[in-house]
Chain A
Amino acid sequence: MTDPSDHADAPLVQLLTPDGRRTTSPGYIYDGTLADIQDLYRDLVMTRRLDTEAFALQRHGELGLWPPALGQEAAQVGSARALRPQDFAFPTYRDHGVVWCRGEDPVHLLGIFRGSSLGGWDPADHHVALPNIIIGSQTLHATGYAMALTLDGLVGTGNPERDAASIAYLGDGATSQGDFNEALDWAAVHQAPVVFFCQNNHYAISVPLERQTRVPIAQRADGFGLPGVRVDGNDVLACHAVVTAALQRARDGQGPTLVEAVTYRMGAHTTSDDPTRYREAAEVEAWKAKDPVERVRLHLVAEGVPDEWFRSVEDEADALGVRLREACQDIPEPDLAELFDHVFVESTVENEQQKAEYVAWRDSFEGSVA
Chain B
Amino acid sequence: MSELTKMTMVKALNSGLRASMEHDPKVIVMGEDVGRLGGVFRVTEGLQKDFGEGRVMDTPLAESAILGTAIGMTFRGFRPVVEIQFDGFVYPAYDQIVSQVARLHFRSRGSVRMPIVIRIPYGGGIGAVEHHSDSPEAQFAMTAGLKVVSCADPHDAHWMIQQAIASDDPVVFMEPKRRYWETGMVDTAETTLPLLASRVVRPGRDATLVAYGPMVKTCLDSAAAAAEEGVDIEVIDLRTLSPLDLGPVFESVRRTGRAVVVHEAARTLGLGAEVSARITEECFYALEAPVQRVTGYDMPYPPSRVEDEFLPGLDRILDAVDRARAY
A residues at B contact (CB < 8 Å): 88, 90, 117-124, 129-130, 134, 137, 139-152, 166, 178-179, 182-183, 185-186, 189, 339, 341-346, 348-351
- Asked if residues B106 and A342 are in contact (CB atoms below 8 Å), the reply is yes
Residues in B whose Cβ lies below 8 Å from that of A90? 72
The bracket for how many chain B residues form the interface is 35 or more
Q: Which residue on A lies nearest to B113, using beta carbons?
A: A345
Residues in B whose Cβ lies below 8 Å from that of A124? 75, 111
Residues in B whose Cβ lies below 8 Å from that of A350? 243-244
Query: B109 → chain A, closest Cβ, in Å?
Result: 5
Residues in A whose Cβ lies below 8 Å from that of B78? 148, 151
- Asked if residues B68 and A183 are in contact (CB atoms below 8 Å), the reply is yes
- Asked if residues B196 and A348 are in contact (CB atoms below 8 Å), the reply is yes
Q: Is B288 an interface residue (CB 8 A)?
A: no
Partner-binding segment picked from B14-22, B57-65, B302-310, B319-327: B57-65
Residues in B whose Cβ lies below 8 Å from that of A146? 72
Query: B287 → chain A, closest Cβ, in Å?
Result: 21
- Asked if residues B69 and A147 are in contact (CB atoms below 8 Å), the reply is yes
Residues in A whose Cβ lies below 8 Å from that of B244? 350
The answer for the CA separation of A106 and B168 in the assembled complex, in Å, is: 29
8 Å CB interface, B72-115 against A: 72-73, 75-76, 78, 92, 95-96, 99-100, 103-113
Residues in A whose Cβ lies below 8 Å from that of B249? none
Q: Is B71 an interface residue (CB 8 A)?
A: yes
Known: A134-B95, A185-B60, A186-B62. A149 touches B76 (CB 8 A): yes
Known: A145-B72, A183-B65. A151 touches B105 (CB 8 A): no
The answer for the CA separation of A270 and B32 in the assembled complex, in Å, is: 40
The answer for the CA separation of A130 and B106 in the assembled complex, in Å, is: 12
Q: Is B144 an interface residue (CB 8 A)?
A: yes
Query: B141 → chain A, closest Cβ, in Å?
Result: 11
Residues in B whose Cβ lies below 8 Å from that of A117? 109
The answer for the CA separation of A109 and B283 in the assembled complex, in Å, is: 48
Known: A346-B168, A346-B169. A182 touches B72 (CB 8 A): no
Query: B55 → chain A, closest Cβ, in Å?
Result: 8
Q: Which residue on B lies nearest to A354, using beta carbons?
A: B144
Query: A92 → chain B, closest Cβ, in Å?
Result: 14
Q: Is B54 an interface residue (CB 8 A)?
A: yes
The answer for the CA separation of A145 and B92 in the assembled complex, in Å, is: 21
The answer for the CA separation of A189 and B78 in the assembled complex, in Å, is: 20
Looking at the complex, which one of A120, A140, A345, A346 makes contact with B65 (CB distance below 8 Å)?
A: A140
- Asked if residues B64 and A140 are in contact (CB atoms below 8 Å), the reply is yes
Residues in B whose Cβ lies below 8 Å from that of A118? 103, 106-109
